[in-house]
Amino acid sequence: MFVDIHTHIDNQSVIKIVDGDVEKILKTVGIHPWKLDRHFDWSEAKWRNLLRLRGVDFSTSVEMTRFFAIGEVGLDKVHKETFEKQLEVFEEMIRLSESCRKPMIIHCVRAYSEIIAARKKTKAVMPWVIHGFNSSVETMRQLLRHNMYISLGEVLYRNENQAIDILKNIPPDRLFLETDVSGRNIRDVYAKAAELMNCDIDFLCRQIFENYGRLETTDTDSGR
Ligand SMILES: [Zn+2]
């Protein structure tokens, strides 16, 4: 069983679980920081429309189960011109995640301290997965201290030394793997990580599926 915690199908962010020939697709909903412009008008009506476009309706608790996580959402300092708006929207996403008890899949570029600050400010408790992590072990440790998960993808190929460093230091129960927009097969990503960690692919499959189960349990706990 291979969990791909963050990938895209038809421009939509999803979680994919591959079990032999069977693929299970779990939707995520959110507003990517790249989609924002400075004049993005935040209103409940817009947000609800966006969710409806993705087949989500908040009017009944049954519909709530139609998506798995809030994502991908986050902060990206390369897009400086919208950063303030990004912060505003990110906090709204956090409130949504907390109120419907869904984990978040987070896109973060050069804004790790702001992500941590937002978690503290909002006193969020839902699990957050930092996808496409590509930073230092020290930054990773700070995120782990705030109860976050780390997902690795392209860094395994593009910056092997850093990836080895991260994999050596990450507690396995906080690790995820992903393909994002790379077009790679998730099995290959697991094989690559196993090679760098010097462990079995089976170990990674078991561990990451267990980690995924922990995200899901959060949902079940809420009784939905
Ligand atoms: Zn993505």
pLDDT digits (tens, 9 = 90+) for 141-188: 999 999 899 999 999 999 999 999 999 999 999 999 999 999 999 999
State the CATH number of the domain containing residue 131. 3.20.20.140
The reply to whether omega before 72 is within 30° of 0 (cis) is yes
Q: How far is CA 186 from CA 6, 15, 48, 73, 78, in A?
A: 10, 11, 32, 22, 28
Dist. CA 208 → ligand 1 center (Å): 19
Centre of ligand 1 from the C-alpha of residue 181, in Å: 6
What count of other Cβ atoms lies within 10 Å of the Cβ of residue 75? 23
**Token code pair at residue 10:** 């038809």
In a domain, 223, yes or no: no
**What's the 184 CA to ligand 1 centre distance in angstroms?**
13
Give the global pTM.
0.89
Q: Number of folded domains in the chain?
A: 1
CA of 27 to the centre of ligand 1 (A): 13
- What are the beta bridge partners of residue 129? 105, 149
Task: Determine, yes or no, domain membership for 224.
Answer: no
* Euclidean distance between CA atoms 83 and 143, whole angstroms: 20
Query: If you measure from the C-alpha of residue 73 to the centroid of ligand 1, how many angstroms do you get, rounded to a whole number?
Result: 9
Residue 61 lies in a domain: yes
50 inside domain: yes
Q: What is the pLDDT of residue 45?
A: 65
Parent domain of 46: 2-218
